[in-house]
Every structure is written in structure tokens, then in C-alpha cells.
Amino acid sequence: MAFGYVDCHCHITAQEFMQDTEEVIDNSRKNGVQALVCVTEHSGEFERLINLSERFPDFVMPCLGIHPIQSDTEGQRSVTMKDLEPVLAQFEKYKDQLVAIGEIGLDFTPWLAPTQEQRDEQLKVFKMQLDIAKRLDLPVNIHSRSAGRQTIAFLKEQDVHKVLLHNFAGRPSVALEGVHAGYFFSFPPAITRNDQRAKLIKQIPLENICLETDSPSLGPCKEKRNIPSNICIPCDYIASVKGLQPDSVREVTTQNAMRLFPKMYHKLKT
């Protein structure tokens, strides 16, 4: 199989892509992207992502999940079970199409989840989705902002093995606990804005790294919409930090993605 890039974490159903989704997908293919692993943040995206995956079955790889931070008319807030419960049946309904459960996880950003009660509720929502992933034998696509240590500890405690920690920003020592558990880590184009992640990337073996864009967020320029074809940017950056050729990084990270998301591998082979 040829080794194009695999974007292991992007938001193709985000509002920012509503006007030109097909163009973005077409542009990604033209720029060497082999597949998009697409996540959701809230239940309103579920049907749209499934529809896109049916239209582009060899390219859009769907993950369903409820993010630990939700938006409503008053702004952002910590997730509650009321956000997850109405859509539990949809995980079962679409289980054959899904390549993973995500984006799920913990977000203990002080101004978004300041109380222990909110954090406990996030853990409940997280655990329920981890249970779904285990039952359906699917990997998980994980958010861990301001909660890297707690997220990895909880994943290990829950005996979860197939894990992608997207845009991980914790300490190298914490990341290495994840490496020892067999987890994967992915990094978006925003890592090129400064060298804060270089030490972390240096210490994580390439065999535990995947590529992502997190588009439309976390691009190389804060003010511009990020797109999946920017996937070459973290690839080149990781190569420079590790003293490797970008082609080697692309090949190994794509093999890692195929190993982590076996249902994607089978979809691409058929």
C-alpha cells in the first residue's frame, strides 16, 4: 500500500467547513492525504459525519464522541450526562461504520471546569464512552487539555489499550507512561508556532507518533482556518526535531495509524 498522510484527528463537520466541504476533501487528496480520521464534539454533528463517510467511504473515517467541553448560547461549559444520554443509541446504530470513539476525554481548564463536581461529571461521561469503545472493540481519540496526567492514569485504570492522545501537551514523563501503555500521540501544525513541544516530541518514539491537523483549529497561523492538507507541516517539524527525513516520518506515522485504526486499514484495502 502507498503511504500518503493520514490526518488522525480533524473536524470536517465544523461550522468553518460548511460552505466548501467537498473542496477541502478534494484539496486534501491532491496534497497526498490518504485518509481523514474525523471526530465530533457534540451530537449535532453525528448524522452529518456519517453522511459524509457514506459519500467518501475510502477517505472520511468517522469517529463519534461527545467532547468534555460543550458550547451553548451562553458560551462554553463543562459536559454533563445530559449531553451524552440522548445519543447513546447512535453509537450502536453506526457501530459498523465507526473507526473509533472520539473526540472524548477530560478538560480541566480552570475557567471551564473549576469545580470538583464538574470534573467528576466529565469523568462519568468519559467512562461511559470508554465503555462503549471497549464493548464495540474500537480505539479512542482523546482530548486531555490541562489533564494529561489524569487522563492517562484514568485510561490505564479503565484498562483501555487502543488510544490516540491528540495534541498532547503534558510533561514528557507523563507521556512516557502512555508510551509504556502502548498509546499513540499526535501533534497538529500549531506546534511550529514555538518550540515548546520539541522536548516532548524528541522523547516519544516515532513508533508511538501519528499526524493530525485538528483542523479547522491549531493551524500554523492562529488567525487562519487550518485545513487537512496542512498535515505536511507537523510531519516536517517532527522530522526536523528527530533528525529524520520527512518521508520516513510520513511512512511510519501512516503505518502507526493503520495499526491503531484497523477498521480504517480494512476500508482502505477494499
**Residue 11 labelled as part of a binding site:** yes
Strand 209-211 versus strand 5-10 pairing type = unpaired
**Cα–Cα dist 68/126, whole Å:** 8
Among 251, 219, 221, which residue's Cα sits nearest to residue 235? 251
The grid coordinates listed for 264 are 480504517
**Residue 166 labelled as part of a binding site:** yes
95 contacts 62 by C-beta, under 8 angstroms: no
How far are the Cα atoms of 90, 116, 119, 200 from residue 112, in angstroms, in the given order? 27, 12, 10, 26
Terminal Cα-to-Cα distance of the chain (whole angstroms):
12
Rg (CA), the chain: 17
**Residue 85 labelled as part of a binding site:** no
**Residue 131 labelled as part of a binding site:** no
Residues of the binding site: 9, 11, 103, 143, 166, 214
Residues of the binding site for a divalent metal cation: 9, 11, 103, 143, 166, 214
